[in-house]
Amino acid sequence: MAYTKEDILNGSIPQHVAVIMDGNGRWAKQNNMPRLYGHRNGIKAVRQITEAAAECGVKYLTLYAFSTENWNRPAEEVKGLMQLLVSAIENETQTLMKNNVRLLTIGNTAQLPADVAQRLNECIRRTASNTGLTLVLALSYSSRWELQEAIRSIAAEVADGRLSMDNINDQTIAEHLTTRGIPDPDLLIRTSGETRISNFLLWQIAYTELYFTPTLWPDFGKTDFYEAVVDFQKRERRFGKTSEQVAHE
C-alpha cells in the first residue's frame, strides 16, 4: 500500500524524527556504479524526506550524514562525501529558505574541511530565523564523542566551583550535549536492513520508538516516510508506566 500524507494527519505527528540514512553503497553496487553514485542519489532522498517532514508538521528532523567512524573510510570516499556536502548546501539553501527550514549541525564540525565548515556556517546563519522545520545534520558525529565532551565540560564546571556535584541530574547532562534545546527523538528510522544504532544519539533515544526498514536510503521516499509514521502511530508509548495509567493521562 502506498501511504500518503492524509494517512498520518489524523494521528499524532512525531515532534522529532531522527534518521540513520544507510545503504547508499549497496544501492550503488546493485546498480553497478561506484559508491559515490549512491551518495549522490542519497541526497535526493534527503530532499524528499525533508519536504515530507516539513509538510506534515514535524518540528525537528535529525539526519545522520557522517559519523566519527566514517572518517576511517577510504580517503577518496571521504573526499567525495565532503564535496557532495558542499554542493548540496550550495544548491539547497534557497529551497530551505523557501520552505522556512532552519539548519543546525551536531557533531565535531571542527574536523570538517575549512570550505565545508564555512559553507555550513553560512547556511546556518542565513536560515537562523526560519520558524518551520529544524533540520539537524549530524556531521562527524558520534554519541560517545558527544558524551565525552559533555563529561569533560561538566567536570570542568565542578572543578572550578560553578556546578555542585550533587546537582548533576538528567537535565544537566542533556544541557551539555550538542543537542541541547532539542527535544529527544520520538521516532528513529534506520534504512538498509541493519538493526543497530552505530553510535547515534545514545542518550537521547532512551524512550524513542525504533523503526527499521530494508529499503536502501536512495530508494526511501515520501511514502516510506509516511509508512514509518503510520507504524509509529500504532504504538503505545508507556515510558515505564502501565497501559491503564497511560490511558488515563
Contact residues for ligand IPE, defined by CB under 6 A: 20-26, 64-67, 70, 81, 192, 194, 196, 198, 217
Could you tell which of ligand IPE, Mg ion, none binds residue 134, using a CB distance below 5 to 8 A set by kind? none
Q: CB of 192: closest distance to ligand IPE in angstroms?
A: 6
CA distances from 150 to 18, 145, 156 (A): 21, 9, 10
Number of other CB atoms surrounding residue 179 within 10 Å: 24
Could you tell which of ligand IPE, Mg ion, none binds residue 50, using a CB distance below 5 to 8 A set by kind? none
Q: Which is nearer to ligand IPE, 144 or 238 (CB)?
A: 144
Q: Which is nearer to Mg ion, 57 or 193 (CB)?
A: 193
Q: Provide the H-helix boundaries in 35-142.
A: 35-56, 75-98, 114-127
Active site residue 130: no
Active site residue 41: no
CA distances from 57 to 106, 194, 197, 208, 245 (A): 22, 28, 25, 18, 28
The active-site residue out of 22, 186, 219, 224 is 22
The helix (run of H) or strand (run of E) holding residue 145 is helix 143-159
Q: CB of 119: closest distance to ligand IPE in angstroms?
A: 18
- What's the sign of the alpha-carbon dihedral 176, 205, 133, 118? positive
Q: Looking at beta carbons, which residue is closest to ligand IPE?
A: 25
Q: Which is nearer to ligand IPE, 22 or 146 (CB)?
A: 22
Q: What is the C-alpha radius of gyration for the chain, rounded to an integer number of angstroms?
A: 19
The per-residue b/e assignment along 69-101, b for 16 or more CB within 10 angstroms, e otherwise, is ebeebeeeeeebbeebbbebbeebbeebeebeb
Could you tell which of ligand IPE, Mg ion, none binds residue 175, using a CB distance below 5 to 8 A set by kind? none
Q: Which is nearer to ligand IPE, 78 or 154 (CB)?
A: 78
Q: Which is nearer to ligand IPE, 25 or 185 (CB)?
A: 25
Q: CB of 78: closest distance to ligand IPE in angstroms?
A: 9
CA distance 174 to 150: 9
Q: CB of 228: closest distance to ligand IPE in angstroms?
A: 16
Query: Which residue from 179, 151, 168 is spatially nearest to 64, judged by alpha carbons?
Result: 179
The active-site residue out of 24, 31, 32, 70 is 70
Q: CB of 153: closest distance to Mg ion in angstroms?
A: 31
Q: Which three cell numbers stand for residue 185?
A: 527523538
| Residue ranges that bind Mg ion, judged by CB under 5 A | 22
Active site residue ranges? 22, 70
